[in-house]
Structure formats: structure tokens, C-alpha cells
């Protein structure tokens, strides 16, 4: 088995995993520290000899997930500064195979390409060269400095990783003309951002957006207020130089504290769109890297030639309301307040109550919040691409987890090990339980392999007449306009 590959920066040596070769921690950009702190990604320094790439590289600066999500979404923390690295899985003897590039989720403040559920072995086994990578998070990736530094450094990292794929993946057996970029949650929001960004044009021909779309990005005024609040909290000027001098642990702690403050004391006058989406460190519509809100760019035709697979999970918001017990604290007044915040009247609950007559106010809140944050934006994006040259396929992952007495349902992030065929990976049981159905993973994983390979996951493309959606559940079938009455509640409502 050939375990050495020559990249544009130097030779690397990987490891063998059966018939699959794995190369981990390969630099795609220079370490973003020192003079490169808060700068656009720079090319990695070339090296002599053969670099051993058998272990994941350091993870980006990040806080731990809050309790109890930290247990449900375990992720590694690997110290070091060489955080801008890729990981590649490829079959031995591969040549000209399709490529999947995975953008991890984590609300733009957590995550890495080293999460065990993202292991690319199964995709490589099935003929898809697979790449995961790290990008800068939180303050390092997304704090808005205005004129003092490039905006959206995390998105620029993603473009740099895709450029590395373009320039190097052929050496690993992949075809740079057959690249699919995919992601979940913030990774899916990143995918739709990339779909809308001129700098990413031509770097991929297919895209997968799991539980995230293009409706959320900060306006410059809001992003500037976040940056000013962080600098004030730290007692330093809002400059790259001043923030670079702050101890990283102190910086991350201040970032986390500010995010908690914004969530706990929503103030529309100060925090604008953050009152609802609660992600203080996310892409900003800066007019350059991200010219406009991604969904608006897609509606105007951006990325129209790219094939898109997009979908959501039935009970996304259960992850954020069930494990912490909040679902049982929600009463009718809180539910009414949430509806008002989303621009809905109490009558909007009728189709939700009709589908679940015994649902508590908290369970109804899960359904409504899931639609506002995830399902309706995904459908709006699919609707915006009606008639585009690139196909659009829509799915819903509906298999209910048995965890928490079955109340998690098909929650956020539950589908990931089904997509990657990694139900046995460490940490997967936390969300899916010990007996998650391998036969469903076989079906879901095959659909993703087929989409990456051919652009056809196995069901009809979405249209505005039949609205076909592939539902992956205990029973798997193509369903026309699932929960259409609930979808219609949102017509004319801004999401």
C-alpha cells in the first residue's frame, strides 16, 4: 500500500486502515498565530523530507460545550497552534474518484474535523475520497474588526481548504472537478455561505446542507456591537494587536461569557438579530467576503448550477430543550411569547396541535422552533432554486432516538453517524442509544454516496407542485409535502 503522497508543500506519510489510507493533520494554511493572528489564511511553509501525518492536528481555540450538551456531543481538544489542517481518507489505488469535503458544525464556536463520527473510512470504502478540516472559530474566526482586519476569517479558512483540495486532491486519488462540499448545523450554514460567495465559485460542483441554511448572518452594525462589547469586557482596545496580546484562555472565556450574557438578557435594541438566533460569533455580511445574506444571493441565482442536497431532522430543537429539562418548564405564556417573537399568532398552533393533540407547551415549542430555525429556511432555499440548472433534493431525518425516554425524537445532529456510517464510533451512543439501526445507516449513507457520485440520491428532485421529500425514519419513503399545513403557517412570515 502506497502511504506516501507529495503535496504542494511537501511529502506526507499516512497510515493504513484496512484497504483505506488515512492522512491526518496535513497543513492547508500556516498556523494563524503570531504575526498571522486575525489575518487571512496564509500558505503553509514548505517542508523537506516526509512529514508524518498519522494523527489529527491541533483543534482551533474553543470553549467546551455547555452542560449537558458536552456529554451528548463529545469532541476532542488537541493543543497546539498548527490548527489549519485537513484529514484525508482514500481507498488504496484510488484514481479520479469523487471527493466529499466536510465542514464541521458547532455554532461557529465549537467543533473540529477530528470528531470520531466524521471518520471518512466508510465513504472511502465506497469510492469517495473524503476530507475533513479545521477552521478558526469564535473570536479568532468571526469577530468583526471593521477596518482593522479581514472579516469572516473562518469562511476564508474554508475557502483555503477547498483551494488546497483543488490543488492537491488528485495526488490522493480524487478528482478536483468532482468535489462536493457538505456540512451540518454551522457547517451547513457555511456550505450555503460558500454557495453564495464569489471567492468559492468553481471550487465545488455539489453541496449538502444538513440542518442549516442561508438565513442567518450578522449585519455589520450588530457584529460591531458584539466586538465592542467583547473588547470592553476584556478592557482592551478593539484592535487585532490588542486582542492578540490577550491570553487565549482569557479570550475564550470572555467570548463564552458574552455569548451567555446575550442569550440571558435579550435586548433587540442592542443585539438586533441575535435576540433570536443567539450566535454572537458567526459570519457577517461584510460586503466583501460575504457580499449579501446567503439566502438572498441564492434567490438571485448564486450557485444555481451546483447540485444541492438539503434537509433537516424532525425534532431538531429537542436537543436544546429536552436534556436540560427546559421542555417541562415551558408554559402557555412562554410559548405565546416565542410565537410572537417569530411573527406568528396563536392561531398558528392549530396544525401543530392537530398533529400532536397530547403535546405539552414545551413539546409544541420544540416543533415550532425547529420549523423557524431549521425546516422552513431549508424549504425556502429549495424553493428559491426551483427551475435552476442544478438539481435540488430535500430530505427529512425522522428516526426517533430512544434516549431521554424517547423525548429527544429525531433531534439535531442525530443523523451524522448515519450519514458517515459511524454508529460504532466513540460518542455516537450518547444521542442514538446503543441499538441505533445499522440498516437505516446503510440506506442514508448510500444516498449520500450516490449524491456525491452522481448528483442523484435516489428520489425525485424538489419542485413546487409535488414537493417530494425523502423521509428517513422507521419506515423510509418519499412523502409529498410532509406536514404541509404547518409549512403553510409560515407563508409570508420572515424567517
3 state DSSP class of 21: strand
Quick one: 170 exposed, middle or buried, by C-beta within 10 A (0-12, 13-18, 19+)? middle
CA 380/CA 383 separation, integer angstroms: 5
Q: Which of 75, 184, 282, 316 is catalytic?
A: 316
Helix (H, G, I), strand (E, B) or coil at 85: strand
Residue 350, helix vs strand vs coil:
helix
DSSP 8-state secondary structure symbol assigned to residue 465: T
Q: Can you tell me the distance from the alpha carbon of 329 to that of 336, in angstroms, rounded to the nearest whole number? A: 14
Identify whether the C-beta of residue 285 lies closer than 8 Å to the C-beta of residue 292.
Answer: yes
Q: How far apart are CA 422 and CA 239, in angstroms?
A: 43
175: exposed, middle or buried (Cβ count in 10 Å: 0-12, 13-18, 19+): middle
Contact 423, 417 (CB under 8 A): yes
Strands 468-472 and 477-480, bridge-based pairing: antiparallel
Is the alpha carbon torsion for 245, 247, 250, 251 positive or negative? positive
Q: Which three cell numbers stand for residue 83?
A: 490548527
Cβ proximity of 268 and 275 under 8 Å: yes
Q: Report the C-alpha dihedral over residues 101, 102, 108, 111, rounded to 10 degrees.
A: -130
Backbone dihedral region of 26: left (phi > 0), alpha (psi from -120 to 50 degrees) or beta?
beta
- CB-based contacts of 400: which residues, under 8 Å, 6+ apart? 314, 315, 406, 408, 409, 410, 473, 474
Catalytic residue, chosen from 9, 185, 190, 196, is 185
Is residue 316 flagged as an active site residue? yes
∠ Cα 371 374 342 (to 5°): 50
Cell of 63: 470553549
Active-site residue, 412 included? yes
The partner residues of 86 in beta bridges, in order of sequence, read 26, 133
Which of 383, 391, 79 is CA-nearest to residue 205? 391
User: Considering 412, 415, 428, 445, which one is annotated as catalytic?
Assistant: 412
Active site residues: 185, 316, 412
Amino acid at each position: 500500500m502506497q502511504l506516501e503522497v507529495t503535496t504542494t508543500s511537501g511529502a506526507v506519510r499516512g497510515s493504513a486502515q484496512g484497504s483505506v489510507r488515512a492522512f491526518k493533520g496535513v497543513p492547508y494554511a500556516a498556523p494563524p498565530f503570531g504575526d498571522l493572528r486575525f489575518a487571512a489564511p496564509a500558505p503553509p511553509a514548505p517542508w523537506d523530507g516526509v512529514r508524518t501525518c498519522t494523527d489529527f492536528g491541533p483543534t482551533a481555540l474553543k470553549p467546551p460545550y455547555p452542560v449537558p450538551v458536552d456529554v451528548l456531543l463529545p469532541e476532542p481538544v488537541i493543543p497546539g497552534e498548527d490548527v489549519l489542517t485537513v484529514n484525508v481518507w482514500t481507498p488504496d489505488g484510488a484514481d479520479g474518484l469523487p471527493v466529499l469535503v466536510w465542514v464541521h458544525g458547532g455554532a461557529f464556536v465549537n467543533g473540529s474535523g477530528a470528531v470520531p463520527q466524521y471518520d471518512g473510512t466508510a465513504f472511502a470504502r465506497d469510492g469517495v475520497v473524503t476530507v475533513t478540516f479545521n477552521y478558526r472559530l469564535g473570536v479568532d474566526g468571526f469577530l468583526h474588526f471593521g477596518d482593522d482586519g479581514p472579516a469572516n476569517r473562518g469562511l476564508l479558512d474554508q475557502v483555503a481548504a477547498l483551494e488546497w483540495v483543488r490543488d492537491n486532491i488528485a495526488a490522493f486519488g480524487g478528482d478536483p472537478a468532482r468535489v462536493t462540499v457538505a456540512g451540518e448545523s454551522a457547517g451547513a450554514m457555511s456550505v450555503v455561505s460558500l454557495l453564495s460567495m464569489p471567492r468559492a465559485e468553481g471550487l465545488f460542483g455539489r453541496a449538502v446542507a444538513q440542518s442549516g441554511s442561508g438565513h442567518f448572518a450578522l449585519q455589520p452594525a450588530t457584529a460591531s456591537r458584539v466586538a465592542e462589547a467583547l473588547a470592553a469586557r476584556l478592557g482592551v482596545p478593539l484592535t487585532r494587536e490588542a486582542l492578540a496580546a490577550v491570553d487565549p484562555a482569557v479570550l475564550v472565556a470572555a467570548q463564552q461569557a458574552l455569548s451567555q450574557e446575550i442569550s440571558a438578557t435579550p435586548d433587540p435594541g442592542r443585539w438586533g438579530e441575535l435576540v433570536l438566533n443567539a450566535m454572537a460569533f458567526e459570519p457577517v455580511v461584510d460586503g466583501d467576503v460575504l457580499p449579501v445574506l446567503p439566502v438572498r444571493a441564492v434567490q438571485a441565482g448564486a450557485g444555481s448550477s451546483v447540485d444541492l442536497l438539503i434537509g433537516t431532522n424532525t425534532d431538531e430543537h429537542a436537543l436544546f430543550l429536552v436534556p436540560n429539562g427546559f421542555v417541562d418548564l415551558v408554559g402557555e405564556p412562554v410559548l405565546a411569547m416565542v410565537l410572537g417573537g417569530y411573527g406568528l399568532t396563536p392561531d398558528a398552533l392549530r396544525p401543530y396541535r392537530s398533529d400532536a393533540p397530547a403535546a405539552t407547551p414545551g413539546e409544541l415549542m420544540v416543533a415550532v422552533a425547529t420549523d423557524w430555525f431549521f425546516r422552513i429556511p431549508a424549504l425556502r432555499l429549495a424553493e428559491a432554486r426551483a427551475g435552476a440548472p442544478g438539481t435540488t433534493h430535500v430530505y427529512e431525518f425522522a428516526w426517533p432516538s430512544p434516549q431521554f425516554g424517547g423525548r429527544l425524537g429525531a433531534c439535531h445532529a442525530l443523523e451524522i453517524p448515519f450519514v458517515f456510517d459511524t454508529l460504532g464510533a466513540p460518542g455516537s451512543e450518547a444521542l442514538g442509544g446503543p441499538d441505533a439501526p445499522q440498516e437505516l445507516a446503510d440506506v442514508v449513507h448510500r444516498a449520500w454516496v450516490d449524491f456525491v457520485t452522481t448528483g442523484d440520491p435516489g428520489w425525485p428532485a424538489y419542485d413546487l407542485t409535488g414537493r417530494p421529500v425523502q423521509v428517513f425514519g422507521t419506515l423510509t419513503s418519499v412523502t409529498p409535502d410532509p406536514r404541509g399545513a404547518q409549512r403553510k403557517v409560515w407563508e409570508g412570515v420572515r424567517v
